[in-house]
Amino acid sequence: MLSRRFTDITFAWLFRAFSFTGALALGAIVVFIFVQGVHPFLFPTAQSLRLVVERVDSISVNGRVYENQHGFIELPWDSRTINIEFVNRGEEKTLNFNLSPGRRYRTTLLLPIEAGEEGTVTYPDAYTFTVTYPGAMTGLNQRIHLILPEPPYNFFSFLRGRAWLPTDAKVYGILPMILGSFFVCLGALLIGVPIAILSALFMSEFLPPKIASLFRGAVELLAGIPSVVYGFFGLMVIVPFIRSTFSIPSGSSLLAAVIILALMILPTVIAVSEKCLKAVPRSRREASLAVGASKMQTAFYVVLPHARSGVIAAVILGFSRAVGETMAVILVAGNSPQMITNPLQSVRTLTATIALEMGYAAERHANMLFSVGVVLLIMIFILNGFVLFLRRQGGEEDE
């Protein structure tokens, strides 16, 4: 008896420890994503001007000499003039940058840049300016890069912006991706939900139990298929079909993504809806049949309304699955961040943006992808909260 009590206490504490560890890990992940996501709206990319030199042994910047400099030469962000002196092919060169500092680390480089006759000025992106001088040998040019700090990004420009140009213009607008995610999921629901609900009704009300169990197993098998398999099927079958049917250059489009996601949400919606329909008390069916209603009328006008809250919860769960889907959408959607006007255009979703660009993103670009993740996380939280509300409402109705 004492040994059994000791075992119960031990396992109780183990369960508490594992539960606490899991909750702590989940909370840490959420906090990390939110911290990284809000960073670009509160802080600049740097609190100084930065110079990077290539193949320059000795350089003087505003009177200070740097020998064999590697890494950044940092200067006050509100500097108005940067005077640079160095030796190019045995001749002393002078380079001047004139700047106009503003507020909150907003600094504007005044043009033209005084680079001399041999200096070539290029603009790799909106905050980087490169001056190139010919070296002693071909391919050994001397370069001086001036990198301005990117100021905190406007949050409303982020949500309402229509252009996503992270590498050159440093513009981050996710409205096309938000609308793309919404239209893809909405289209998947419009196609998949009626099929899923009718399938669930057919399995729960009309099929014999043994045959229904076979259909249930098939649905569970569909739920276990990896999303990349669905995406590959869409790429090899649906995309060519759309291209040939509508005579368009590419079948990778919103329509292809809608069809694939409609197929992918079917198992979730069917499984949850069927369980809710099976949970309807048998007395409700018998009462309907007793007053002369047919089996079809009973299914549509008695069973389905009684399981309304559970079916709606199933639809929301399917919507959550569609919102979070990545790989299948990447393969068939085309992934162009543009405002769409018809379902045959290429579209990009929030999840696809993160998956496609996180591998090479850096600094502000990487933080903005975390911000996209925060927007996606908030959308999922809202959907899950709606599901919990519906379940609670359904529980109150049953009581």
pLDDT tens string 139-182: 789 999 999 999 999 999 999 999 999 988 899 999 999 999 98
User: Residue 232, class by beta-carbon neighbours within 10 Å (0-12 exposed, 13-18 middle, 19+ buried)?
Assistant: middle
**CB count, 10 Å around CB of 280?**
19
Q: Which residues pair with 94 in a beta bridge?
A: 85
Which residues have CB under 8 Å from 271's CB, separation 6+? 216, 219, 220, 223, 314
Whether residue 330 sits in one domain with residue 268: yes
Q: Which residues pair with 164 in a beta bridge?
A: 172
Whether residue 129 sits in one domain with residue 60: yes
Number of structural domains in the chain: 2
CATH number for the domain including 274? Answer: 1.10.3720.10
Q: Which among 162, 190, 156 is positioned nearest to 340, based on CA atoms?
A: 162
pLDDT digits (tens, 9 = 90+) for 263-304: 999 998 998 888 888 888 888 888 888 888 888 888 888 888
Whether residue 331 sits in one domain with residue 182: yes
Helices 308-324 & 254-278 angle (0-180, nearest 10): 150
User: pLDDT averaged over the chain?
Assistant: 87
User: Looking at 150, 182, 199, which one is the last position of a domain?
Assistant: 150
Whether residue 272 sits in one domain with residue 140: no
Strands 81-88 and 73-76, by their bridges, are unpaired
pLDDT digits (tens, 9 = 90+) for 89-101: 888 888 999 999 9
Q: Which among 64, 100, 95 is positioned nearest to 80, based on CA atoms?
A: 100
Within a domain: 9: no
Amino acid making up residue 81: T
pLDDT digits (tens, 9 = 90+) for 312-333: 888 888 888 888 888 889 999 9
Secondary structure (3-state) at 153: coil
Distances (CA, A) of 111 to 75, 97, 100, 121, 267: 19, 9, 11, 11, 60
Within a domain: 191: yes
Whether residue 203 sits in one domain with residue 67: no
User: Looking at 118, 150, 182, which one is the last position of a domain?
Assistant: 150
Domain interval for residue 74: 48-150
pLDDT reported for residue 391: 65
Within a domain: 30: no
Whether residue 202 sits in one domain with residue 134: no
- Whether cis (ω within 30° of 0) applies to the bond prior to 124 is no
Within a domain: 267: yes
Within a domain: 80: yes
Helices 175-201 & 364-398 angle (0-180, nearest 10): 30
Whether residue 377 sits in one domain with residue 245: yes
pLDDT digits (tens, 9 = 90+) for 185-202: 889 989 999 999 999 998
pLDDT at 398 over 80: no
pLDDT at 305 over 70: yes
Within a domain: 6: no
Whether residue 317 sits in one domain with residue 205: yes
Q: Which residues pair with 122 in a beta bridge?
A: 130
Within a domain: 119: yes
Whether residue 144 sits in one domain with residue 175: no
**pTM of this prediction?**
0.86
Q: Which percentage of the chain shows pLDDT scores above 70?
A: 97
Whether residue 176 sits in one domain with residue 146: no
Whether residue 267 sits in one domain with residue 354: yes
Within a domain: 4: no
Whether residue 340 sits in one domain with residue 296: yes
